[in-house]
A and B are shown apart, each in its own frame.
Chain A
Amino acid sequence: MSDFELRDLYQEVVIDHGKRPRNFRELPDATCTAEGFNPLCGDQLRIYIKLADGVIADIAFQGAGCAISQASASLMTLAVKGKTPQEAHALFVRVHTLLTEGPNAQVTAAELGKLAVLSGVWEFPVRVKCATLAWHTLRSALEGGGSQVSTE
């Protein structure tokens, strides 16, 4: 049973994105940026966003953290590129619901696309923060936050 749950958490896609995160770079012409920090485990990342014509024209991140936080950030950059800030925020809400409520979440696979691989995280409550860090940081960057986001 525990092996089954472990595979839910560490799905191939998660391992892949954890090892080789996409859009892992600085964005020199970013129009907004924010930093996120998880004091519990030391995960830290910075999100760079380039807004143009009302959409997220480009997004990248840099930082250090566990496989879950790196994979979640990597998948997020792929998911929100080309979307409006409002669409990105709606996705944030769906992902957050999925991570915290698991199967009870009324979120369909179609709404999530590739992000559905994060569905196993809810079975590991202490790891939810790892997966949500990038998303909270994204929201802060889009809101023009500037201050550091903390998961605590």
Chain B
Amino acid sequence: MSDLESSLQVLPEQLDLAPGYDVERVRRMFPILAQQIYGKPLIYLDSAATSQKPLAVIETMSRFFLQENANVHRGVHYLSVRATEEYEKARAKVQGFLNAEHVEEIVFVRGTTEAINLVAQTYGKTQVRAGDEVLISVMEHHSNIVPWQMLCEQTGARLRVAPIDDAGELRLDELERLIGPRTRLVAVTHVSNVLGTINPIRRIVELAHARGVRVLVDGAQAAPHLKVDVRALGCDFYALSGHKMYGPTGIGVLYGRHELLESMPPYQGGGDMILSVTFEKTIYNKPPYKFEAGTPNMAGAIGLGAAVDFLDLLGPAAIAAHEQTVQAYALKALAAVPGLRLIGTAAQKVGVLSFVLDGIHPHDIGTILDREGIAIRTGHHCAQPLMNRFGVAATATARASLGCYSTERDIDALVAGLGKVQEVFR
């Protein structure tokens, strides 16, 4: 029995036997976490940048290349049929994960960035005209700002920005006010990659739909932490990245309502997205294939399917409960660090903890923590407008972010590391 099989087979029983969440067992599923960095145990607090990968994902991808690799949707031979089956099975897993109504609503893309660009350049290009408006929020990642700026430049539309309060919560009253007769789309993040804020997507969708406006949700930071149900949320588009949710890089998903995907023009032209090609006329394939030109990232999609299985196995609710416990511990511990200011104190948030230390640049914090074996992110986190909003544009912030494998021990190490940082700068 391989490590993969044993880890997968033991876990459900253990979950049944053990009341609650056995984080040590979860950690053993991530071989990378066992290593030492500069002679110290690795403390990985950078899951918001990318999550680590469980053995199940690594071995699923490895098995694909060792035993199943062939091009999908083309060949009549055994391996091609098998690869196609696995690829489409992964799509169905994502459909289940998001609770989408139809499997055709799941488009495989490179990641959240490509998903948003796809919508901007297809739906946006056909629906947004000069004088129209696209509404985003101050807390967006650059990937949910720049594609809309590009669209606005191309069409003569205008980008509007909903503000947030000092805790990092969206000002819903302002957002509602900004949805006007020219608004064509609201594009907003589910969870902020800097503040951790969980936005009330359902309410935002209600406000937008009441005015006939479609909503795109950037779910990159939500998928690893929350139960995502696109039908309950009611959104029109939902974008996510595999690598943030324990899957591989280079694969992501665009969920789109079937009737919208049907009506949208293709994103890129090429193989697989067509039904027939002559030099006079090309007939496009149906969704989702219409949007998947070229040989897709098959191993990536199958790896993402394994990541969805992994999340299902642990249970999104159990993961969320565990992470909330560690987050509460972290918030308390960080509040006790002298001179530390937490940025992002929303009532509803995930374990993304951005902070600044009095008189010490985040880059220096990052280097000193690194030598303690502690991995955090420093910088503007691809959210420069948000750095401006909190008056930290010049320095940006340090950010520790949690995953399903994070422990109170990690937080203790972080706090001790920050003590060391302050010692160096004393």
Contacts and interface: CB of A to CB of B under 8 A. Distances in A.
Interface of A: 1-3, 5-6, 9-10, 15, 18-19, 40-44, 64-68, 124, 126-127, 130
Contacts, number: 55
Given A6-B424, A41-B379, A42-B394, A68 B364 contact: yes
Nearest to A5: B371
Nearest to A43: B363
A151 B362 CA distance: 18
A41 B378 contact: yes
A64 B38 contact: no
Interface string B410-426: 00000000000000110
Contacts of A1: 38-39
A122 to B, nearest CB: 14
A2 B39 CA distance: 8
Given A2-B38, A64-B395, A41 B363 contact: yes
A124 B367 contact: yes
B158 interface: no
Contacts of A43: 363
Contacts of A127: 363, 367
Most chain B CB within 10 A, of A3, A64, A66, is at A66
Most chain A CB within 10 A, of B362, B371, B425, is at B371
A18 B364 CA distance: 11
Nearest to B361: A66
Most chain A CB within 10 A, of B361, B371, B380, is at B361
Given A2-B38, A42-B396, A130 B371 contact: no
A42 B367 contact: no
B368 interface: yes
B304 to A, nearest CB: 29
Nearest to B371: A2
Contacts of B361: 65-67
A77 B234 CA distance: 59
Nearest to B378: A41
Contacts of A67: 360-361, 364, 425
Interface residues of B, number: 22
Interface string B365-386: 0011001100000111000000
Contacts of A130: 363
Interface of B: 38-40, 359-364, 367-368, 371-372, 378-380, 393-396, 424-425
Main secondary structure of the interface of B (DSSP, over half): loop
17 contacts: A2-B40, A2-B372, A6-B367, A10-B424, A15-B424, A18-B364, A42-B379, A42-B396, A65-B361, A66-B361, A66-B362, A66-B364, A67-B361, A67-B364, A67-B425, A127-B363, A127-B367
Main secondary structure of the interface of A (DSSP, over half): helix
Contacts of B395: 42, 64
A65 B396 CA distance: 10
A42 B372 CA distance: 24
A32 B393 CA distance: 27
Closest 3 CB pairs of A and B: A64-B394, A66-B361, A66-B363
B349 to A, nearest CB: 24
A1 B371 CA distance: 10
A77 to B, nearest CB: 19
Most chain A CB within 10 A, of B40, B359, B363, B395, is at B363
A6 B394 contact: no
Contacts of A66: 361-364
Contacts of A68: 363-364
Most chain A CB within 10 A, of B364, B396, B424, is at B364
Contacts of B393: 42
A15 B425 contact: yes
Contact of B359 (A3, A19, A42): A19
Contacts of B367: 6, 9, 124, 126-127
A43 B396 CA distance: 10
Nearest to A127: B367
Contacts of A2: 38-40, 371-372
Most chain A CB within 10 A, of B39, B359, B424, is at B424
Contacts of B371: 2-3, 5-6
B379 A40 contact: yes
Nearest to B396: A42
A6 B362 CA distance: 16
A6 B368 contact: yes
A42 to B, nearest CB: 5
B401 to A, nearest CB: 18
Given A40-B379, A42-B395, 9 more contacts: A6-B368, A6-B371, A6-B424, A15-B424, A41-B379, A42-B380, A67-B364, A68-B363, A130-B363
A133 to B, nearest CB: 12
A9 B40 CA distance: 19
Nearest to A67: B364
B374 to A, nearest CB: 11
B332 to A, nearest CB: 28
Most chain B CB within 10 A, of A1, A42, A43, A65, is at A42
